[in-house]
Amino acid sequence: MSLANPSTTWAKTHSFCGRFRSGSLIKSNEFRINLSFPSSIRKKPVFHSCSAILTKEQTDVPRGGSENKLDFKAYVLGKAESVNKALEAAVLLKEPLRVHESMRYSLLAGGKRIRPMLCIAACEMVGGDEATAMPAACAVEMIHTMSLMHDDLPCMDNDDLRRGKPTNHKVFGENVAVLAGDALLSFAFEHIATATKGVSSEKIVRVIGELAKCIGAEGLVAGQVVDICSEGISDVGLEHLEFIHLHKTAALLEASVVLGAVLGGGTEEEVAKLRKFARNIGLLFQVVDDILDVTKSSHELGKTAGKDLVADKVTYPKLLGLQKSREFAEQLNKEAQAQLSGFDQGKAAPLIALANYIAYREN
pLDDT digits (tens, 9 = 90+) for 261-310: 999 999 999 999 999 999 999 999 999 999 998 886 666 556 565 556 55
Higher pLDDT, residue 18 or 339: 339
| pLDDT surpasses 60 at 44 | no
- Long-range residue pairs from 40-44, CB within 8 A, at least 24 positions apart, any chain: 41/237, 41/238, 41/239, 41/319, 42/235, 42/236, 42/237, 42/238, 42/319, 43/319, 43/320, 43/321, 43/324
Could you tell me the pTM of the whole model?
0.79
State the amino acid at position 201 in one-letter form. Answer: S
| pLDDT surpasses 90 at 41 | no
pLDDT, tens only, 98-152: 999 999 999 999 888 999 999 999 999 999 999 999 999 999 999 999 999 999 9
Mean pLDDT on 64-81: 79
Report the distance separating Cα 88 and Cα 105, nearest Å: 11
- Report whether 307 contacts 157 (CB < 8 A): yes
Among the ranges given (41-55, 117-131, 207-221), the one the predictor scored with the smallest mean pLDDT: 41-55
Could you tell me the residue ranges of all domains in the chain?
72-360
The pair phi, psi for residue 70, each rounded to 5°, is: -75, 125
Q: What is the pLDDT of residue 5?
A: 42
| pLDDT surpasses 50 at 314 | yes
CATH class, domain 72-360, is mainly alpha
* Confidence bin at 169 (pLDDT 50/70/90): very high
